[in-house]
Structure 1
Amino acid sequence: MHELVKAVFNSDEKTTLGQLICALRAAGKRYFLRTEILQAFADYCQRSQKPQHFYYSSAVGKLIHCTHEMILEEESIWLVIRPRIASQEFWHLTADLTKFDLMPPQAYLDVSDRLVNSYQPNILEIDLSAFYKDSPSVSDPRNIGQGLAFLNRYLCSQVLTDPQYCLNILFDLLHKLHYDGVPLLINDRIKSGTHLAQQISQAIRFLSEQPDDEPHKNFNFHLQQLGFEPGWGNTASRICETLQLLEKLIDNPQPAILEAFVSRIPAIFRVVLISIHGWVAQAGVLGRDETLGQVIYVLEQARSLENQLREEIKLAGLDLLGIKPHVIILTRLIPNCEGTFCNLPLEKIQGTENAWILRVPFGEYNPEVTNNWISKFEAWPYLERFALDAEKELLAQFQGKPHLIVGNYTDGNLVAFLLARRLKVTHCNIAHSLEKPKYLFSNLYWQDLEETYNFSAQFTADLITMNAADFIVTSSYQEIVGTPDTMGQYESYKSFTMPNLYHVIDGIDLFSPKFNMVPPGVNEEIFFSYSQKEDRDPDVRKRIHDLLFTNEDPQIFGHLENPHKRSLLTVAPITSIKNLTGLAECFGQSPALQEHCNLIILTSKLHPSEATNPEEAAEIQKLHDIVNKYHLHSHIRWVGMRLPSSDIGEVYRVVADCGGIYVHFAHFVAFGRSILEAMISGLPTFATQFGGALEIIEDREDGFYLNPTDFAGTAKKILDFLDQCDTHPEYWLEVSEWMSKRIHHKYNWHLHTSQLVLLAKISGFWNFVVPDNNEARLRYMETLFHLIYKPRAEKILEKHMRR
């Protein structure tokens, strides 16, 4: 990047840069984001009649396209330049453009504080880079998020190259493996790594003489005499295959062999999935609007995990010992549960044999608050006590320690960190959505937002949990490091300021192999293609059709003048991020869209009086105002009622029956559960270009991404698609089929949970073979917890006690 900056300064293009900066100063602002800088540059190029290539290909054009932030001081210009994915540089230019310097992050963070009149000398600086300096690191940004594959390669090429060392390590690992004191895999008859190798050869010879499907119980005694306990497999052929994998691994360590062998090690039996703040239940409630997707995620993940673990236990031959998987969703008990089961301490998860929802109440610092549901922005004061209480309940339910703790969202991950630290258990972090990048300038203006959002506690907890976790599961690549044009969610924690609180110099190593992309699946018993007529109930189909198109109800708004037009469907809670008002505005501004389509909006609420907070009430009212402004009453159906998942599945299929499409118009989406549901149902789907939808849809050449700030461009994309469908009716079918197949093959729960369990095993293997700088890093996280997080949480508690 130095050469590019130098090229601008040493050419006539420095004049262009100076004129652009003058234009920005004239706007009366001091702080600019990438979109504003690019727009100003485009306007400049047009006014100056620059050739088209100048905007992209000139040195100054390339520099501007890499600039993500700009701060204009009286005597200085500061640029945040992102020369490539996962890389940030901070540049200082003098106002007269006579000098330029690459600066450390600290300097830019000081300038940011001055921007909001909150500069404080000697502020606390958080720098975690030292904890990752000696750890293995992904070198190619394209491989970020593929930590499992990286660790397999690293272990085989750097650690297990010495056969004797490899043998001894594997012996030590296998020898310590047990289930509640019962030895698995090998017993004390095998004395060393060398002895293990000898016994493997004998066991393989013995097993090769047995019928392939001979049950393990018929020759268990003979294997025990050789030193092998149950866990290698359930039949002679399965056990022989596993031992042969181990033999190959010892002789010639290869990543594929290591992964195949570790996947067969029976090491995970008890799993905790932590989801704290939502209404986590099954009958009559599935989370609040703000956590609906997360609750569905953990319930489906729990079912899939129990199936996965049961299958692994069976294939390992351990079911004959009475070993069963045990999965618990840990959440909070809510005494004032509004008619739901959220006040039950224990609830079995439907469709499972041994998966449960365990509810533990928040400590009663203030029953007026803790006996009720608490927003995700308010739960922070109660989490430490909750973790201590939950530990006792979990140990009682499991009759032992869990083998894996999976945190969900920031609060769940903070509890996971506290539990994993006390129990010495593997911790998996799943953020779902990091709030910091969702709320523009939320760190810079945190003090103004603190009364509503308590971001100081949340962002500190994010730093703690993402760095403390053994591995991090994300749904997409962009969640980690974004795109060439946008920063990722985790990347936004790399360097930032919380004025008057602390500076983060280096908050996360984006190249760490702890990052792993493991996208979720879809419940295919509920969400499946509209073309599967044999799996659909005609009565349910008619009921949903009438609900969407003809029924009159106090919770349904709008009467369709022509219900036979194609439908534009969207399913989402009413929040500013989901941008339902933007979609309605786009529809209202396009007479052509109204001529071709009806707009169907499925939410949980219809009236401002039903809102749970002022922001939600404002969005509901704004949507009503837009409908009135553009006279959309005969072109829109707004269904404001909560439907069970089974009915939502049929909503997608009914709209697909009529040749409709699905539109996800959010300003940003971390991943997009409804996108998966719509696509697998066979609905051609258009979705926001900001976030995880980029990786779900695969834009192809046809253009299914939408810019939610560009109403005219959105309308044109949808109309172009509809024109093609009208001209070539088979086109809708082609798009419907490839979208449905894509979700079915790539986004399914079996793939997700098999990868999740394998990651937990590889993580445990890694920590055993190559103990990382974990203890020092965890001590640092504990320091942040006690010295920063807890005082911020106590301030929230003080507010609650005054209610």
Structure 2
Amino acid sequence: MSELLQAVLESDEKSDLRQFASELRAAGNTYLLRNDILNSFSDYCDRHQKDNEFHASSLSKLIYYTQEIILEDESLCWIIRPEIARQEVYRLWSDLSIEPMTVQQLLDVRDRFVNHYHPQEGDVLELDFGPFYDYSPAIKDSKNIGKGVQFLNRFLSSKLFQAPDQWLSALFTFLSLHRYNGTQLLINERISNQRQLSGQIKKAITFVSKLNGDKPYDEFRFDLQVMGFEPGWGNTASRVKETLDILDDLIDSPDHQALEAFISRIPMIFRIVLVSVHGWFGQEGVLGRPDTGGQVVYVLDQARNLEKQLKEDQELAGLTGLNVEPKVIILSRLIPNSDGTRCNERLEKVHGTENSWILRVPFREFNPNLTQNWISRFEIWPYLETYAIDSEKELLAEFQGKPDLIIGNYSDGNLVAFLLARRLNVTQCIIAHALEKSKYLFSNLYWQDLDDKYHFSLQFTADLIAMNSANFIISSTYQEIVGRPDSVGQYESYANFTMPDLYHVVNGIELFSPKFNVVPPGVNENVYFPHTRNEDRIQSDRDRIEELLFTLDDPANIFGKLDDPNKRPLFSMARLDRIKNLTGLAECFGRSKDLQERCNLILVAGKLRVEETEDNEERDEIVKLYRTIDEYNLHGKIRWLGVRLPKTDSGEIYRVIADRQGVFVQPALFEAFGLTILEAMISGLPTFGTQFGGPLEIIQDRVNGFYINPTNLDETADKLLEFANNCDRDPNYWYKISQQAIERVYSTYTWKIHTTRLLSLARIYGFWNYASKENREDLMRYVETLFYLIYKPRAKTLLEQHVHR
């Protein structure tokens, strides 16, 4: 039994537990989430005049760790999360007897809650991925989740130590496999086994040690070839010696740091595919359109920096003489009716690169009225399998061979990445960006009511397929995987759940698998940089943005004229959708007269008029924003810019707001990471970010930014006012927070850090998949079964609806 429950039942607090359970039942709410439970317990303590000491009691501790309570006729289903990534479930009877419940029993309870439990019709399909991870190494401590590659390196180095012949043989064979366009790399046929490799390494080290460290590789290449070594060890004598020394140490005394250092240097990745299917993917005029925001910025920046890192790595490896040309392709969707964008162009070079491209592949036509236009990310599912088949041909033609790494983005891109990686047999990485299951409360439980609009049955199935098939998973934050002590992580929410009448997920993902790695993105430092770097700013752009934000009269694109443009600006920039919650920020501002006296609210947010958008959620938010402005009479105090800005302008906007000692507010109801937070902070803007999601790991509260609870409008207004008051009392306060925000980004969130880590991961997981001989085929067959028997029939049904629209 749970230690938390046991402590209560063995104390005199047992009667309080009985009374609390009784009052929950009397209140009539039959499904309570954590916040409901905490509020109910607080009310209970107030009603029964419990003193402060009671809040440190065993019952109070039990309540804190209780995640859900579901009330049934005779009992309570009590779900406890005693620590991150672990769950316990109990049935609590009226006499306080306790019995543990299985996951299957819990899912039945949830089905009964929504009246979709039909045992007389037979059992529902159960999905359990747990057994497929039994043969893989697993992390033990939850605090190490997201550090998968560190764990894997230790595991591999211990295997090298325990069974050196087996693993050194695997390493030798792995090294001998690598070629570029038919040219052998690393070792040639003169070295025939791992024992010979060890001796030749020592000879080569002796040889290069006698050379000038700066001597170019080409000048002693043939000497190394005679010893059995081909290009790939380094571009100078000192670099070659360094690489050979690391391998020599690894062979003689295996160590996880040496293993990572060596594998990270192997030239094995030259061609990368980044898959980003939905939305309008382009470099100009797309941001702010439906389904088009931070993911586009992320993928473009990632592509530029991956190419840059690949070139740097290959130069250091000594491959310059082989005319190696690393290539990065962003695979996206071609939209024939492109609405003035370049999304109807098959191939577009990524700005600032030599060999990175956006490759757009169209959906097959079916119904041209749909497939020639933008399609919502919630409706995109029927086209992805044929899209993957068509994309494979296009990619093979563009690369003139197979890619070395495929990285999926978001649920749809991750599914395409799975289909491509499976067909091409290459390493697959996925990046969620956001998992809709966490964003929409009870979305799995009520999927049948929501499926006509959101098609969650397809999306959640696609998520299960992608996250289990991936060789490794990148998350931007730890809590994206497993949350915090008081909240469940996005991936953790897939551990078990029910889709009533469709399937039960008993174990949807192994959270302790070393496939999870936290690798946060960076910021484009050419666009986003501190407002104090005046030498890098263009005065004409600065003046134009200043006018746009504060004084320009342009009714077609701007709503609102400021009575006093000199007030401190509160600034936010996002799409107008429910989760981004700009309407909530407007209401927060509207409810605080003090805030209105001190500040102006400036929003950069997509469209101004409902007739200009095809997105239902955006329409609703536009109507709500106008209603809020009228309800709180915010005329003269708010400016709403319905514009799509080029990237360079978005960088200057942050800086102009910072020039006026403004603040950036990110009020999202949930934010998986928060690129705009990084952009604002590196610009020097004090930033207020939502406490729900990734910003908790970016911002250090009251050090380089501030947390807000966007559901508590009065508290949010008070925090903004407190900041303004502190600035008035101490003229240096704004500058102090500003400087610490800048330092935080430069120390932790750069693309150089991101891409170095990502490529290192790809190489190490490539080696692990080869050397471990891990049999993933049973897992992949299970995943394919889910695709063909659940996903594909439902996608076909949706396609038939599309055809007849």
Provide TM-score, normalisation by structure 1.
0.98
Partner of 1:666: 668
Paired residue type of 2:708: L
Deviations 1:197-219, CA, capped at 9 Å, x for gaps: 11111111111111111111111
Partner of 2:98: 100
8 Å Cα contact 1:313-1:324 kept in structure 2:
no
1:288-437 to 2 correspondences below 5 Å: 288-437=289-438
Partner of 1:447: 448
Partner of 1:710: 712
Partner of 2:272: 271
Which of 688, 697, 700 does residue 698 from structure 1 map onto?
700
Paired residue type of 2:483: G
C-alpha change, 1:209 and 1:690, in structure 2 (3 Å) is same
| Structure 2: distance between partners of 1:114 and 1:368 | 41
Deviations 1:166-192, CA, capped at 9 Å, x for gaps: 432221111111123321000001111
8 Å Cα contact 1:476-1:517 kept in structure 2:
yes
| Structure 2: distance between partners of 1:114 and 1:611 | 40
Deviations 1:512-566, CA, capped at 9 Å, x for gaps: 1100000011111111100001111111111111111111111212222221111
Cα offset for 1:567?
Answer: 0.9
Runs (4 or more) in structure 1 with deviation over 6 Å come to none
Which of 617, 620, 638 does residue 618 from structure 1 map onto?
620
8 Å Cα contact 1:23-1:40 kept in structure 2:
no
Partner of 1:749: 751
Partner of 1:787: 789
Residue aligned with 2:292, SS: helix
Cα offset for 1:298?
Answer: 0.8
Provide TM-score, normalisation by structure 2.
0.98
> Structure 2: where are the runs of 5+ without partners?
none
8 Å Cα contact 1:234-1:317 kept in structure 2:
yes
Residue aligned with 2:70, SS: strand
Paired residue type of 1:344: E
- Range that drifts further, 659-668 or 610-619: 610-619
8 Å Cα contact 1:147-1:513 kept in structure 2:
yes
Paired residue type of 1:118: H
Residue aligned with 1:260, SS: helix
| Structure 1: distance between partners of 2:58 and 2:608 | 52
| Structure 2: distance between partners of 1:799 and 1:79 | 41
- Range that drifts further, 330-339 or 760-769: 330-339
1:494-505 to 2 correspondences below 5 Å: 494-505=495-506
Cα offset for 1:287?
Answer: 7.0
| Structure 1: distance between partners of 2:160 and 2:208 | 31
Partner of 2:590: 588
Partner of 1:62: 61
Residue aligned with 1:391, SS: helix
Cα offset for 1:799?
Answer: 1.1
Deviations 1:69-122, CA, capped at 9 Å, x for gaps: 11111111101110100011111111x133111110100100110111111330
Partner of 2:649: 647
Deviations 1:731-765, CA, capped at 9 Å, x for gaps: 11111001011112211111111111100000011
Partner of 2:679: 677
| Structure 2: distance between partners of 1:671 and 1:114 | 35
Residue aligned with 1:420, SS: helix
| Structure 2: distance between partners of 1:739 and 1:753 | 22
Deviations 1:244-286, CA, capped at 9 Å, x for gaps: 1100110111111111111110000000000011211123324
1:18 matches 2:18 = yes
Cα offset for 1:609?
Answer: 2.2
Paired residue type of 2:70: I
Partner of 2:803: 801
Cα offset for 1:703?
Answer: 7.2
Cα offset for 1:372?
Answer: 1.2
| Structure 2: distance between partners of 1:690 and 1:475 | 14
Paired residue type of 1:150: F
| Structure 2: distance between partners of 1:193 and 1:759 | 24
Deviations 1:310-367, CA, capped at 9 Å, x for gaps: 1111111112111110110111111111122211111111111111111111122222
8 Å Cα contact 1:76-1:92 kept in structure 2:
yes
| Structure 2: distance between partners of 1:441 and 1:318 | 53
Residue aligned with 2:291, SS: helix
Cα offset for 1:378?
Answer: 0.8
| Structure 2: distance between partners of 1:3 and 1:611 | 54
Deviations 1:369-396, CA, capped at 9 Å, x for gaps: 1111111111111111111111111111
> Structure 1: where are the runs of 5+ without partners?
none
Residue aligned with 1:353, SS: coil
Partner of 2:735: 733
Cα offset for 1:499?
Answer: 0.2
Partner of 1:50: 50
1:31 matches 2:25 = no
Cα offset for 1:702?
Answer: 8.5
- Range that drifts further, 21-30 or 789-798: 21-30
Paired residue type of 2:582: L
Partner of 2:509: 508
Partner of 2:74: 75
Residue aligned with 1:633, SS: coil
Paired residue type of 1:262: I
Partner of 1:491: 492
Residue aligned with 1:705, SS: strand
Partner of 2:252: 251
Kindly report the root-mean-square deviation, in angstroms, between the aligned alpha carbons of the 2 structures. 1.3
8 Å Cα contact 1:549-1:560 kept in structure 2:
yes
1:476 matches 2:477 = yes
| Structure 2: distance between partners of 1:654 and 1:524 | 17
Residue aligned with 2:303, SS: helix
C-alpha change, 1:287 and 1:195, in structure 2 (3 Å) is farther
C-alpha change, 1:484 and 1:257, in structure 2 (3 Å) is same
| Structure 2: distance between partners of 1:798 and 1:209 | 72
| Structure 1: distance between partners of 2:553 and 2:489 | 44
Deviations 1:560-618, CA, capped at 9 Å, x for gaps: 22211111111111111111111111111111111111111111112222232232211
| Structure 2: distance between partners of 1:386 and 1:37 | 46
Partner of 2:84: 85
Cα offset for 1:133?
Answer: 1.6
Paired residue type of 2:69: M
8 Å Cα contact 2:71-2:77 kept in structure 1:
yes
| Structure 2: distance between partners of 1:290 and 1:334 | 14
8 Å Cα contact 1:689-1:706 kept in structure 2:
yes
8 Å Cα contact 2:285-2:644 kept in structure 1:
no
1:533-612 to 2 correspondences below 5 Å: 533-554=534-555, 555-612=557-614
Cα offset for 1:686?
Answer: 0.7
Partner of 2:771: 769
8 Å Cα contact 1:703-1:717 kept in structure 2:
no
Deviations 1:384-429, CA, capped at 9 Å, x for gaps: 1111111111111111110000000111111110111111100001
Residue aligned with 1:12, SS: coil
| Structure 2: distance between partners of 1:286 and 1:345 | 19
Residue aligned with 1:291, SS: coil
- Range that drifts further, 610-619 or 236-245: 610-619
Residue aligned with 1:290, SS: coil
1:141-156 to 2 correspondences below 5 Å: 141-156=142-157
Cα offset for 1:4?
Answer: 2.1
Deviations 1:200-244, CA, capped at 9 Å, x for gaps: 111111111111111111111111111100111111111111111
8 Å Cα contact 2:704-2:744 kept in structure 1:
no
